[in-house]
């Protein structure tokens, strides 16, 4: 699914003049590509993901979601063919692991044996075999993140919106999960919007890295990542990787400094 | 795969046990208090009609258990409490949920609750006796009316405080508005509903015993026992009844907590 975003503006109501979170975002997220969104904290990454996912409605601007194989079909409604993995996870505390994962299928009326079978398979692939009956409160932060990932993946929607999905993982689990995501992506060719603040993760996973400015969020630069697929962890050491890293680090540093200056001014 | 371990109960394991003296301190203080009471009564030669000694209260307590008067009246009071609580709990949760689901209903009911909640329900006793007489209907009505308010208010508050993030997440996973109400909003309100039911139980106990004291014509129940023994100055029996009532109240509260933990372990200790 192609996601064509034009001139997106989002002003959050804060009881006063409003917070301008996004200020004219225009971008074409291509079908079957994994786009990483990078930017300083508070620049509107989550906001953008939520608008693309139809969870929030933008103040102005348009989103069109079209199937490139069938361009004459009417565009899909945002949210219809996407699913979000939330930065705050939003697991349902009253449901155990497997009932969180199967929530969407249950709502869709999929019979229990079928949805449980699919959930078991997915949970095993994210390293949570035998945790099906646990309460979510009994899991570590990283395990909860994997439950949230499985809950999104089980929906099998063409667009996957992932808001800092691996932020709470330890370094080792993170590598495993990145490999798992790469594998899923290279096999299923979903359209993925992946929010992160880790530059190496963005390069390792993405076909494209969109660097955003400090608030109000605009697109500062779009960097194509032409590293061959399948991607492996070993690529991190290559010269090409290092060059991309330096380039993005430079862009990000400018914006983080901008964001800090803004905060200082706001406090003064 | 580190977090499986032994923490099976869902509650945080106690980090380190308190030292022995700290653990026995509560019971020790009770024993000490009773011993001092006994000594003071004996030494001061206080008339048992004013303050009986704990030892004679205990004797009366045993006698009243054996002659069946205490078990019978406790049982009667218990049934009345359960009846009032059940009516108030079912109606309170139902109305609270409906208010949370329908703006129109909330608008209509809200001013009534705001007006009636602060009214001390005991002040309705004269009216209720005029309308219902002094039988079971009166006891049931006064206790149910009183317990209804905390239940309905907590339920409605719980429903309104549902995390909007969870609602959005459910909608994103394809849940309809109806499905969100039954699968997200109501479970999310359960900690508040439990809190309301605890408050409701507390006032039901108070109101049933009070109604048995004032005007109850059935001549049964712990309230009736207390009043009758008081009037004939059988102070030992008054104390014995009080002890029984206190233990009974504690057991009911603990039982309710156990039911909470059994029904919704994740909700315990949330509100
Ligand atoms: N629902 C909301 N209501 C009001 N303001 C909001 C809302 N969501 C976000 N904001 C504001 O919009 C701005 C952008 O927030 P957003 O969460 O999109 O940033 P982010 O780039 O995801 O940050 P982070 O990296 O810290 O997650 C912030 O100033 C935030 O306070
Ligand atoms: Mg965010």
Residue B254 lies in a domain: yes
Q: How many domains does chain B have?
A: 1
Structure confidence at residue B4 (pLDDT): 42
Domain at B209, CATH number: 1.10.3720.10
CA A142 to ligand 1 centroid distance, Å: 23
CA A195 to ligand 2 centroid distance, Å: 8
Contact across the interface for A127 and B173, Cβ inside 8 Å: no
Structure confidence at residue A167 (pLDDT): 85
Query: Cα–Cα distances in Å, from B184 out to A107, B166, B181?
Result: 12, 7, 6
CA A163 to ligand 2 centroid distance, Å: 7
Structure confidence at residue B215 (pLDDT): 74
Contact across the interface for B184 and A92, Cβ inside 8 Å: yes
Residue B46 lies in a domain: no
User: Does 3.40.50.300 match the CATH number of domain A2-81+157-267?
Assistant: yes
pLDDT band per the 50, 70, 90 thresholds, residue A114: very high
Residue A61, exposed/middle/buried by CB under 10 A (0-12, 13-18, 19+)?
A: middle
Mean residue pLDDT of chain A comes to 91
Q: Whose CA is nearest to atom 25 of ligand 1?
A: A41
C-alpha–C-alpha distance, residues B93 and B197, integer Å: 9
For residue A239, the distance in angstroms to the closest alpha carbon of chain B comes to 35
Angle between helices B136-160 and B186-213 (to 10 degrees): 150
C-alpha–C-alpha distance, residues B185 and B160, integer Å: 8
Of A167 and A30, the one with more pLDDT: A30
Ordered by start, the domain boundaries in chain A are: 2-81+157-267, 91-156
Structure confidence at residue A248 (pLDDT): 94
CA A21 to ligand 1 centroid distance, Å: 7
Residue B225 lies in a domain: yes
Residue B187 lies in a domain: yes
A258: pLDDT strictly greater than 80: yes
Of A9 and A176, the one with more pLDDT: A9
Structure confidence at residue B8 (pLDDT): 45
pLDDT digits (tens, 9 = 90+) for A53-107: 999 999 999 999 998 888 888 888 888 899 999 999 999 999 999 999 999 999 9
Query: Cα–Cα distances in Å, from A207 out to A33, A145, A158, A163, B183?
Result: 6, 23, 17, 17, 38
pLDDT more than 70, % of chain A: 100
For residue B166, the distance in angstroms to the closest alpha carbon of chain A comes to 6
Residue B37 lies in a domain: no
Contact across the interface for B175 and A53, Cβ inside 8 Å: no
Task: Answer yes or no: are the C-beta atoms of A180 and A149 closer than 8 Å.
Answer: no
For residue B168, the distance in angstroms to the closest alpha carbon of chain A comes to 7
C-alpha torsion sign, points A113, A116, A122, A126:
negative
| Residues of chain B contacting A94 with CB distance shorter than 8 Å | 187-188, 190, 264, 266-267
- Classify A84 as helix, strand or coil: strand
Name, in order, each residue with C-beta under 8 angstroms of B91's C-beta and a sequence gap of 6 or more.
B144, B148, B151, B152
Is residue A191 within 6 Å of ligand 1 at its C-beta? no
Distance of CA B157 to the CA centre of its chain: 20
Residue B6 lies in a domain: no
H or E stretch covering B117:
none
Structure confidence at residue B12 (pLDDT): 52
A119: pLDDT strictly greater than 50: yes
Q: Whose CA is nearest to atom 29 of ligand 1?
A: A42
Q: What is the pLDDT along chain B (271 residues), one digit of tens a residue?
A: 444 444 444 455 555 678 888 888 889 999 999 999 999 888 888 888 888 999 999 999 999 999 999 999 999 999 999 999 999 999 999 999 999 988 899 999 999 999 999 999 888 888 998 999 888 999 999 999 999 999 999 999 999 999 999 999 999 999 999 999 999 999 999 999 999 999 999 999 999 999 999 877 778 999 999 999 999 999 999 999 999 999 999 999 999 999 999 888 888 765 4
Q: Whose CA is nearest to atom 16 of ligand 1?
A: A44
Residues with CB under 5 A from ligand 2 (ion): A 46, 87
Taking one residue from A and the other from B, the number of pairs with CB-CB distance under 8 angstroms is: 63
C-alpha–C-alpha distance, residues A62 and A59, integer Å: 10
Residue B217 lies in a domain: yes
Residue B1 lies in a domain: no
What are residue A19's DSSP bridge partners? A12
Contact across the interface for B267 and A94, Cβ inside 8 Å: yes
Choose among A170, A172, A120: nearest CA to A145: A170
Which of A88, A107, A135 is opposite residue B10, by nearest beta carbon?
A135
| Residues of chain A contacting B7 with CB distance shorter than 8 Å | 138
pLDDT digits (tens, 9 = 90+) for A193-251: 999 989 999 999 999 999 999 888 899 999 999 999 888 888 989 999 999 999 999 99
- Classify B94 as helix, strand or coil: helix
C-alpha–C-alpha distance, residues A33 and A46, integer Å: 19
C-alpha–C-alpha distance, residues B4 and A255, integer Å: 42
For residue A147, the distance in angstroms to the closest alpha carbon of chain B comes to 13
Angle between helices B103-116 and B136-160 (to 10 degrees): 130
Structure confidence at residue B209 (pLDDT): 93
Mean pLDDT of A254-267: 85
pLDDT band per the 50, 70, 90 thresholds, residue A140: confident
b/e for A219-254, b at 16 or more Cβ within 10 A?
bbeebebeeeeebeeeeeeeeebeebeebbeebbee
CA A21 to ligand 2 centroid distance, Å: 11
Pocket test for ligand 1, best of A44, A164, A197, A219 (most atoms within 8 A of CB): A44
Note down the domain range covering B194: 60-263
- Stretch 186-215 of chain B: residues touching chain A, C-beta under 8 Å: 187-188, 190
Contact across the interface for B169 and A84, Cβ inside 8 Å: yes
Which of A84, A88, A92 is opposite residue B172, by nearest beta carbon?
A84
């Amino acid at each position: 699914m192609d996601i064509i975003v034009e001139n997106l503006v989002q002003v959050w109501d804060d009881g006063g003049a409003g917070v301008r979170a996004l200020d004219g975002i225009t971008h074409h997220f291509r079908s079957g590509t994994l786009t990483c969104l990078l930017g300083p904290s508070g620049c509107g990454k989550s906001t953008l993901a939520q608008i693309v996912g139809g969870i929030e409605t933008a103040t102005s601007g348009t989103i069109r979601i079209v199937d490139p194989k069938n361009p004459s079909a009417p565009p899909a409604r945002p949210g219809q063919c996407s699913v979000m993995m939330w930065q705050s996870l939003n697991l349902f505390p009253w449901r155990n692991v497997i009932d969180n994962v199967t929530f969407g299928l249950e709502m869709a009326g999929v019979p229990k044996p079928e949805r449980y079978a699919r959930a078991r398979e997915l949970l095993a692939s994210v390293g949570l075999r035998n945790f099906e009956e646990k309460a979510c409160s009994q899991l570590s932060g990283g395990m909860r993140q994997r439950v949230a990932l499985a809950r999104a993946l089980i929906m099998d929607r063409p667009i996957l919106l992932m808001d800092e999905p691996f932020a709470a993982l330890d370094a080792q689990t993170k590598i495993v999960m990145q490999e798992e995501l790469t594998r899923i992506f290279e096999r299923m060719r979903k359209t993925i919007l992946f929010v992160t603040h880790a530059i190496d993760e963005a390069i390792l996973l993405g076909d494209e890295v969109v660097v955003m400015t400090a608030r109000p969020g605009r697109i500062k630069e779009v960097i194509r990542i032409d590293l061959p697929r399948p991607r492996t962890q070993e690529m991190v050491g290559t010269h090409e990787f290092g060059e991309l890293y330096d380039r993005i680090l430079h862009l990000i540093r400018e914006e983080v400094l901008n964001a800090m200056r803004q905060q200082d001014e706001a406090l003064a | 795969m580190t977090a499986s371990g032994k923490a099976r109960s869902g509650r945080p394991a106690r980090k380190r046990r308190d030292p022995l003296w700290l653990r026995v301190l509560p019971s020790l203080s009770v024993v000490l208090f009773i011993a001092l009471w006994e000594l003071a009564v004996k030494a001061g030669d206080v008339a048992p009609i004013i303050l009986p000694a704990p030892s004679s209260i205990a004797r009366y307590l045993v006698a009243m258990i054996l002659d069946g008067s205490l078990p019978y009246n406790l049982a009667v009071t218990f049934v009345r409490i359960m009846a009032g609580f059940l009516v108030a709990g079912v109606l309170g949760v139902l109305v609270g949920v409906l208010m949370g689901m329908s703006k129109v209903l909330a608008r209509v009911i809200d001013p009534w609750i705001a007006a009636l909640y602060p009214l001390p329900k005991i002040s309705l006793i004269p009216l209720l006796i005029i309308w219902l007489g002094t039988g079971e209907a009166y006891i049931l009505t006064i206790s149910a009316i009183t317990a209804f308010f905390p239940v309905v208010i907590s339920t409605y508050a719980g429903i309104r405080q549902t995390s909007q993030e969870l609602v959005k997440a459910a909608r994103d996973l394809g849940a309809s508005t109806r499905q969100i109400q039954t699968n997200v909003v109501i479970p999310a309100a359960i900690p508040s509903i439990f809190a309301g039911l605890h408050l409701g139980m507390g006032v039901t106990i108070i109101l049933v015993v009070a109604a048995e004291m004032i005007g109850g014509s059935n001549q049964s129940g712990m309230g009736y026992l207390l009043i009758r023994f008081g009037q004939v100055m059988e102070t030992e029996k008054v104390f014995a009844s009080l002890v029984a009532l206190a233990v009974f109240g504690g057991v009911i509260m603990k039982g309710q907590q156990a039911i909470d933990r059994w029904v919704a372990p994740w909700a315990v200790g949330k509100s």
